[in-house]
Amino acid sequence: MKEGTIIGGQAPSATMTSGAAEKIVQEYGACLRSLSIPGRLVMDAGSLPHPKELIRQALILALRLETDPKQRQALKSGYITLSDWQEGVGDEPVGLDVTKMDLNADPKELAKRIHDPLERCVKWAAVAKGEREALKSDLQKLGLWEVTNAGR
């Protein structure tokens, strides 16, 4: 791909080479692989390796160039997963990390420890879900969401 290629239907200022896109996608993939704590739901967009919009553009370019169906599926999943990063979440990811809870503790104590994170979960889950639908719609409009993805 030549320097200056327009991606994602964006204005001419949104240009990226395939090499730059590959590097960004690889770094984002490493970020996704590092998230092994169960129960995490939404993280602050500032914890991404690049600005969210730049990752979005790199993934779109990669999808346009990739021909392997398995790799395309991984790229689409990564694109939709961008919804799990939101501005304003803060340093503490939103979700219930049950690995740090004593599940044999007194039920009232457990309820107290779950209440606040659960309230944050409800708020941010709705935000992430809305963006997930918008990201899916983006891929559909760009012709990058095949029928095989219909149920997802």
| pTM listed for this prediction | 0.78
| Domain layout of the chain by residue ranges | 18-149
Which of 131, 119, 65 shows the shortest CA–CA distance to 94?
Answer: 119
Reported confidence tier of residue 128, pLDDT bands at 50, 70, 90? very high
For 97, half-sphere exposure in the C-beta direction (CA atoms, 13 angstrom radius) is 11
Q: Are 152 and 100 in contact (CB under 8 A)?
A: no
Q: What is the pLDDT of residues 26-84, one digit of tens each?
A: 999 999 988 766 556 799 999 999 999 999 999 999 999 999 999 999 999 999 999 99
Give the neighbor-by-neighbor strand order of the sheet with 85-86: 85-86, 40-44, 94-95
CA dist 87 and 69 (Å) reads 32
Check residue 8 and give its pLDDT. Answer: 44
Contact (Cβ atoms closer than 8 angstroms) between residue 44 and residue 95: no
